[in-house]
C-alpha cells in the first residue's frame, strides 16, 4: 500500500500542475470550453493527492528500511 500511495501522490501533483497550466493557458487563449475541462481536473488531483497521503501515512514505510534514528 505504501508504494501505491506514493504513486498516487505523484499522480495527484501531476494532475494539479497539468490542470493549472493547461487550464489557465486555455483561458488566456479564449478557449473557455477547454479551460473549464482542464480546470475541472484540479479538484480530482487534490482528491488523489489526499488519498495518496493518507495511504502512505497509514501503511508506513517498508519493514526492511533501517532508520538509525528509530532504534
Boundaries of every domain in the chain: 2-60
The model's pTM: 0.79
What is the rounded CA–CA span in Å between residue 27 and residue 29? 5
CA angle 42, 47, 52 (to 5 degrees): 125
pLDDT of residue 71: 54
**Predicted confidence (pLDDT) per residue in 15-61, tens digit:** 999 999 999 999 999 888 999 999 999 999 999 999 999 999 998 77
| Residue 67 banded pLDDT, cuts 50, 70, 90 | low
Say whether pLDDT at 65 is over 90: no
Amino acid at each position: 500500500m505504501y508504494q501505491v500511495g506514493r504513486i498516487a501522490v505523484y499522480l495527484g501533483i501531476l494532475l494539479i500542475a497539468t490542470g493549472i497550466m493547461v487550464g489557465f493557458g486555455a483561458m488566456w487563449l479564449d478557449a473557455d470550453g477547454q479551460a473549464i475541462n482542464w480546470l475541472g481536473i484540479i479538484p480530482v488531483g487534490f482528491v488523489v493527492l489526499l488519498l495518496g497521503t493518507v495511504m502512505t501515512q497509514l501503511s508506513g514505510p517498508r519493514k526492511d528500511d533501517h532508520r538509525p534514528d528509530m532504534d
